[in-house]
Structure 1
């Protein structure tokens, strides 16, 4: 089979270099363009020594890129940046063949007004938004397969939606009083210099942030509402951990009448039994169970209060929560084995 020719926009950020790491293991992909305006004309190994041994293209500005011979463009740009750039790229008739897989939030919201509400920025490509498919691989596989633009989910939403969507769709839990408590490694904040992310600010500490107003609330509610076919509102609080990568989400919910914990487990087991990357387990789970991999582990426990169920889910925020899921979506679109490029074991210890 002819190799898939790939370009990465925003190649010098964390999700960009994670894509490079994973795609170097993909037997049917050729990395042809690495685009990073702020680091243009440098070799990628000048920024990241761990890529020294690989023959990769030099970083370039987007204005010097030719997409006419590219099959897939991965977008790893900051939010509110991708819309205009992809609008410009796709307006060129020579690029009409392109598949876009965007890792930012710019195409995740079905309704552009909701995007503006949560990101305080008007949507600049509403016509393209109509073509976008929400790229939660295991849930939206059939739609992804036909998509021209795939909007990869956020890292926190991935960890919450994988367990919650099947339970709401099958009417096993109440749509009210869902509480999601998530904790992430610092890489989730990106590579830009921020005082709050300095070593002395993060080390030996943990903090909650964006309480009651985090942007991923709207994204999670949108997808849960579609699953339930009824408005779902949640409480979501993210926390920053003094680790590089990984997310653990603890989800508190109530079962509906006459629903047992075994019903919950059976639903998740049935949903994901044939899935390679998502597994229901009976033991307690930790970040090191998945770090460096595209796996997601889910555990279900009975809560202390009546009808209370406590679900935990772990993913790697850069892999299943971003670049790994993006590659999984590419594999779906090109009718490839979804595991290609992603059969990487978690890093332990």
Structure 2
């Protein structure tokens, strides 16, 4: 058994980490931190965990949480993790950062987030399907939710070197905006509505570029527009992939099946995936259709933004880092309908 702690456990991501870890037979949750809620029961905030977890929020220093834990999940806002992670890292604890602070090279981070990086260090990008070296690491940068679904949607075509350009159009549930209310997530503004935002400037584009360029360093024409939809969970991404040559259905399917054959959480479907097919699960469902007339492949991916897009993926990384089966604690069907 290993002991796990969560720094910044009061948000949706922290609550989801605890929900999933409670089903993991090799993990004890021993610490959940929140400066604001210190002294309160975790279940006063995460009421869905009542009866499953007897733990209070604490205001612990990194040294205190490190001394109690084998694995620490850092679930704090970007710009904050870089002040915490350096105090956690040593050979005795594994650290998984769910913020954006270590996903990008330093220069790319500073450009995308318009701030100085106070702890410039490299971390392996924790998209297990593309980074098997996760298993050898003590420190992982957990990917963003949008880049997870989008990168997995386009990766087989990028690896084959056939993409001339790609346009990602993503629709996200409201939980992607975090637990604190905002004008975007306010019910009267969101119900029966769809809102596009940051039409050409979303910071996650830097992650798309970084990961797809690893597969094809000539691919630079990558565009992304996100939307918020009146759904609680999930991200549905439509990737319009324009190819350098005509491709047929059988050829495209072979690329996807070859790349994801041994990847348990990626399912290549016949037809288009849906949010209902992945809700509450760690799966990324992918479907596609070939538009031969326009040298275009329309690839659709669906993930739960709180699971495969955040907490589930972090546990998948933990499993690899700790030598557990990759699916341990995560192998469950979606909550459909």
TM-score range, shorter chain: over 0.9
Number of corresponding residues: 336
Deviation of 1:96 (Å): 4.2
Matches within 5 A, 1:227-238: 227-238=215-226
2:325 maps to 1:325? no
Matches within 5 A, 1:103-182: 103-109=98-104, 111-126=105-120, 129-130=121-122, 132-141=123-132, 143-174=133-164, 176=165, 178-182=166-170
Relative to structure 2, which stretch is displaced further, 226-235 or 198-207? 226-235
Distance 1:330 1:306 in 2: 42
Matches within 5 A, 1:33-44: 33-44=31-42
Asked if 1 retains the 8 angstrom alpha-carbon contact of 2:43 and 2:53, the reply is no
Distance 1:34 1:56 in 2: 11
2:336 maps to 1:345? no
TM-score (norm 2): 0.96
Deviation of 1:196 (Å): 2.1
Distance 2:309 2:221 in 1: 22
Distance 2:146 2:250 in 1: 26
Distance 2:156 2:23 in 1: 32
Asked if 2 retains the 8 angstrom alpha-carbon contact of 1:100 and 1:148, the reply is yes
Asked if 1 retains the 8 angstrom alpha-carbon contact of 2:154 and 2:241, the reply is no
Closer, same or farther: CA 233–100 of 1 in aligned 2, 3 Å: farther
The residue number in structure 1 matching 2:253 is 265
The residue number in structure 1 matching 2:289 is 301
Deviation of 1:308 (Å): 1.1
Distance 2:218 2:83 in 1: 32
Deviation sequence 1:113-163 (CA, Å, 0-9, x none): 11011111111111xx22x1000011101x101112101110110001112
TM-score (norm 1): 0.93
The residue number in structure 2 matching 1:52 is 50
Deviation sequence 1:81-139 (CA, Å, 0-9, x none): 0011112333xxxx541111011100000x2111011111111111xx22x10000111
Distance 2:39 2:324 in 1: 33
Relative to structure 2, which stretch is displaced further, 260-269 or 208-217? 260-269
Kindly report the root-mean-square deviation, in angstroms, between the aligned alpha carbons of the 2 structures.
Answer: 1.4
Closer, same or farther: CA 305–70 of 1 in aligned 2, 3 Å: same
Deviation of 1:321 (Å): 0.5
The residue number in structure 1 matching 2:77 is 78
Q: 229, 233, 242: which one pairs with 1:245?
A: 233
Distance 1:51 1:145 in 2: 30
Deviation of 1:4 (Å): 1.2
Closer, same or farther: CA 66–295 of 1 in aligned 2, 3 Å: closer
Distance 2:65 2:144 in 1: 29
Distance 2:88 2:304 in 1: 31
Distance 2:213 2:315 in 1: 26
Q: 226, 229, 239: which one pairs with 2:214?
A: 226
2:278 maps to 1:290? yes
Structure 2: runs of 5+ lacking an equivalent: none
Deviation of 1:173 (Å): 2.6
Distance 1:260 1:305 in 2: 11
